[in-house]
Amino acid sequence: MPNQFEFLDKHYDSTDIPEVAAQTAYERFGNYPNAHTSTVVFGVAWNALTDSIKLAVLNYVNGGVPNTSAYATLSRNGLQWNIVLTGLRFVNASRTLVHGRPEYQLNEYANGSIFVNAEALGGQLLGEIVHLENGFGSWVQEIKLKNQ
């Protein structure tokens, strides 16, 4: 059985170097040939990232006021957590076809927000993360990869 953060791990790189995170985002297209975008969070410790998600859910369940860089809401039907993580660095890669050939654009963002969807177990517990989508952030730079 997969753990709750297995999906998130595919969108994470432990590096602090934007070009390394960009390479990770670019390489993800090989595993998902129909994907148009790939987002990789970097520059944050794995435990800090996962702990912020857990704390966001705990704050919601306990009726607390979120005072962290993450907050959660429960879907109307109680089956899904909608979690927003803020203050992150991420690389977003996009792929388009131009004259039948793929072209890639990779951009680094700072102080960004990421949206995560996860299963809600019993409307109280965090289940498996099932989706991650980049939100917005301060654009830092376009990254050109050497092998591109």
Q: What is the pLDDT of residues 3-53, one digit of tens each?
A: 889 999 999 999 999 999 999 999 988 777 778 899 999 999 999 999 999
- pLDDT score at 1: 39
Higher pLDDT, 98 or 80: 80
Give the pLDDT score at 22: 95
Q: Does any domain span residue 68? A: yes
* Dist CA 14 CA 8 (whole Å): 12
Predicted local distance difference test score (pLDDT) of residue 2: 54
1 domain-assigned: no
Average confidence (pLDDT) over 63-76: 85
- Give the pLDDT band of residue 124 (cuts 50, 70, 90): confident
Containing domain of residue 52, as a range? 6-143
**Structural domains in the chain (count):** 1
If we measure between CA atoms, which residue out of 37, 15, 10 comes closest to residue 106?
37
CATH of the domain at 49: 3.10.130
Q: What integer best gives the mean pLDDT of the chain?
A: 91
| Residue 148 placed within a domain | no
pLDDT score of 63: 85
The answer as to whether 55 is a domain residue is yes
Q: Which residue did the predictor score with more confidence, 81 or 103? A: 81
pLDDT > 70: percent of the chain: 96
What would the DSSP string read from start to end of 106-145?
A: EEEEEEEEEEEEEEEETTTEEEEEEEEEE---EEEEEE--
Whether residue 136 is contained in a domain is answered as: yes
Whether residue 81 is contained in a domain is answered as yes
Residue 67 token pair: 């005072």
Q: How far, CA to CA in Å, does 78 sit from each of 69, 75, 123, 146?
A: 23, 5, 5, 46
- CA separation for the pair 127, 130 (Å, rounded): 9
